[in-house]
Structure 1
Amino acid sequence: MPPQGNIADVVAHPVRLRILQAVGGRDLTTAQLRELMTDVPQATLYRHIAALVDVGVLAVASERRVRGTVERTYTLGEQMAHVEQSELATLSDDQLRASFLAFVGELLRTFEGSLSLGDLARSHLGFGTGAMYVDEDDLARIQQGFNELLAPYLEEVTGKQRVMLSTVLLPAE
């Protein structure tokens, strides 16, 4: 397991990214996570969940007894799978490449899965790239406004389609 204090190392693992994307915006039990991730052995899934809980990216929302065992329901923790700029600065180029590759791989897996939704996927799909000219203060204001804009859409609501929003900022050459 990665060191408990290094969120970037913990979150960068492909299985852990999948767990975080599954939980994002809702609470899921371990049984529900197993149903969503049938290709991951149960013991492996539990180890990855434990690593995410250890660094505060996942939190236990509730516990209940089920057939003599405790079933936990997980939610995103205080760290929210966000790697701070200061922590990114400590990663080597190879660690950054591996982290970004894991992110892109999970993005592609999510995209492939959404294609099974047919027309619904196309009506809720969008992607593109555009240039912006900013300094660090501009980025801070954009992030604050972005968070405020998204806040009303982060709770699960009956009748609304769950979508995944991924953002990437890359300095252009």
Structure 2
Amino acid sequence: MATADLFLHPVRMRILQALFDADPLTTAQLRDRLPDIPAATMYRQIAVLADAGVLEVVDEKRVRGTVERSYRVRDEHAVIDPAARSAMTREDHQRAFTTFSASLMGDFHRYLAHEDADPTYDGVAYRQAAVWLTREEFAAMVEEIEHAVVSRIGGTRDGDRIRHVVSLVVVPDNPAPKPAPGAS
């Protein structure tokens, strides 16, 4: 598992999002998907992720005197260590959320840039809802949502299936009251 700092870099987060549950991609293919990222930056950030064990090389080919590598995400390493997550400061969480939000906006912008993008037909959805839940009910809801998404990861890539990116943000309206020390 990795530290939060590894994932909080906006380019690294975008590289990971482009590779999550996708076929392995070369750096050139990643640059096609993320054309606004300069080549040197792309190569440098892929190297950081590979050195950290988050990306693995699944294929190498010789192309015009260089080696072209195909990468995929090692899911078991693309998670922030729980201890590192609990050690994150408020500023770290602010930075993480800002990076995540910017990445979402970039994904949406790239989708809308396609001439044939049709948000209604394509089922684009974004909404908010307020729910009043106990901590147990909240935990159950998060588990249900995670199960609904995770159970669909890794589906076959046939002619009728389109890759969708599902993002979830859960923010309490106010901080939850913490139990008094010694209370159970």
Structure 2 length normalisation: TM-score?
A: 0.77
Identity value in percent: 33
Deviation, 1:7, is 2.6
3-state SS of 1:102 partner: helix
Q: 1:93 to 1:145 in 2, by over 3 A?
A: closer
The answer to whether the 8 A contact 1:124-1:163 is kept is no
Q: Superposed, which structure 2 residues align to 1:20-99 within 5 Å?
A: 20-26=16-22, 27-79=24-76, 81-99=78-96
The match for 1:13 among 9, 16, 28 is 9
The AA in structure 2 aligned to 1:121 is P
Using the alignment, how far apart are the partners of 1:149 and 1:104 within structure 2?
20
- 1:38-81 Cα offsets, whole Å, 9 max, x none, are 22221211111111122232222222222222111111113453
In the alignment, structure 2 segments of 5+ residues that lack a partner are: 175-184
2:182 aligns to what? none
Using the alignment, how far apart are the partners of 1:71 and 1:144 within structure 2?
41
Using the alignment, how far apart are the partners of 1:104 and 1:13 within structure 2?
12
In the alignment, structure 1 segments of 5+ residues that lack a partner are: none
The RMSD of aligned alpha carbons is 2.6
Using the alignment, how far apart are the partners of 2:80 and 2:101 within structure 1?
16
Using the alignment, how far apart are the partners of 1:168 and 1:24 within structure 2?
18
Using the alignment, how far apart are the partners of 2:132 and 2:56 within structure 1?
35
3-state SS of 2:29 partner: helix
The AA in structure 2 aligned to 1:163 is H
The answer to whether the 8 A contact 1:25-1:155 is kept is no
3-state SS of 1:152 partner: coil
The answer to whether the 8 A contact 1:56-1:78 is kept is no
Larger C-alpha radius of gyration, 1 or 2? 2
Using the alignment, how far apart are the partners of 2:105 and 2:3 within structure 1?
22
1:121 aligns to what? 119
User: Does 1:105 find its partner at 2:106?
Assistant: no
Structure 1 length normalisation: TM-score?
A: 0.81
- Runs ≥4 in structure 1, deviation > 4 angstroms? none
The AA in structure 1 aligned to 2:31 is R
User: Does 1:166 find its partner at 2:167?
Assistant: yes
